Amino acid sequence: MRSISILGATGSVGDSTLKLLRKHRADWRVEALTAHCSVSKLADLAREFDAKIAVVSDEACLPALREALSGSGIEAAGGRAALIEAAKRPVDITMAAIVGCAGLAPVMAAIERGGTIALANKEALVSAGEVMTRAVAEHGATLLPVDSEHNAIFQCLAGNDIAEVRMITLTASGGPLRLLSPQELERVTPDQAVAHPNWDMGAKISVDSATMFNKGLELIEAHHLFPVGLDKIRILVHPQSVIHSMVEYRDNSTLAQLGPSEMMVPIASCLAWPKRMETPCEPLDLAKIGELTFFAPDEERFPATRLARAACEEGGATPAVLNAANEIAVGAFLAGHIPFTRIAALVEDVLQKSNHPKRLDSLDDVLAVDAAARRQAQAILENK
């Protein structure tokens, strides 16, 4: 029996993780489950899986959680400090699935414990990549990538020397808007942007897919996870989302990982690593799929990948600024305050006007840069 803590248990990644645990109940013991303030769902899950502790990051929700868990024997806790303490608990694997910068401190706590972390929090490596990777090396932690693209790369590298890699290819679906003209993009509604053709995701990440910022952020993540050099990481649009990424070696052989568009597959890869486990997903039917197509990304209509690569090349605090500005821009678009095409323009505006440090030495530095970039993005919105 292996032990697990799930940080962000009520979100989509947490939900998929728990679906897998239900199929393999005899193999797993749940230590900690956390959520922001989904008290009822968190309490139900804690009871179902007999967790040792349930934590809400919003301390105002703690009284309701205590009441919901009354008589269960399950510890209830709340607030940022409690969330970090839950992440420090010794387990075989920590699923880090808290969305946004709220997940940075818990991820760092799990790293400093020297544990194995299944990383589904993009901000950890996008905003704090240099800080996080230094901590991983210092504390002997293990990072297993949950994002389907990075998990695919991880699988394609298994048993091979990264020094033999000639090129890593991140595939992108292109999102629901890839065929629209610039004039049509100006009129895109939030409903159109979140209607992803292949993946069932939340609104923010769906918009990121539509703008291609999701792939730009993944480029930055890949740069930190697989240190082959930024010039050896490219993006290729693959609308069918069957090949999740590829690794080309110096002998001109290319390994590709194929699978259904379902997050349970990369999650299962992390949970069972270095072995495999069954999932309830349908296997691929390549004859039914028929054909796989590939295109170079259009960085004129979708400049996000260009901005992300430039931010990664500059390093330091720049990726954190890019991530924070994008979150504000996506929120403004979803609220109807700016057009779709203004998302990337706002991010570029913030990047050009920001006066940020060239090096980040701590998580506090990252959070300070993040907060400043959000304020600047908001100020630009208000002025325009």
pLDDT digits 0-9 by tens, 339-365? 999 999 999 999 999 887 788 899 999
> What CA–CA distance (Å, rounded) separates 56 from 215?
30
pLDDT tens-digit map of 17-27:
999 999 999 99
Residues of the chain with CATH 3.40.50.720: 2-145
The rounded Cα 218 to chain-centroid distance in angstroms is 8
| Residue whose structure tokens are 């090096």 | 359
Omega before 274 within 30 of 0, i.e. cis: yes
pTM of the model: 0.92
Q: Where in the chain is the domain with CATH 1.10.1740.10?
A: 315-384
Q: Is the pLDDT of residue 140 over 70?
A: yes
pLDDT for 212: 95
List, for residues 267-308, the tens digit of each pLDDT value: 999 999 999 999 999 999 999 999 999 999 999 999 999 999
* Paired residues of 256 in beta bridges: 246
Side-by-side strand order, sheet with 93-96 = 75-78, 53-56, 28-35, 2-7, 93-96, 116-119, 142-145
Alpha carbon 109 to its chain centroid, in Å, reads: 18
What is the CATH superfamily name and number for domain 2-145?
NAD(P)-binding Rossmann-like Domain (3.40.50.720)
Asked whether the predicted pLDDT for residue 383 surpasses 90, the reply is no
Instruction: Give the phi and the psi of residue 238 in degrees, each rounded to 5.
Output: -135, 90
Q: How far is it, in rounded angstroms, from Cα 105 to Cα 363?
A: 7
- How far CA 21 is from CA of 1, 142, 155, 217, 321, in Å, comes to 12, 21, 22, 29, 37
Residue 90 has pLDDT above 90, yes or no: yes
CATH of range 315-384; options 3.40.50.2300, 1.10.1740.10, 2.102.10.10, 3.90.25.10: 1.10.1740.10
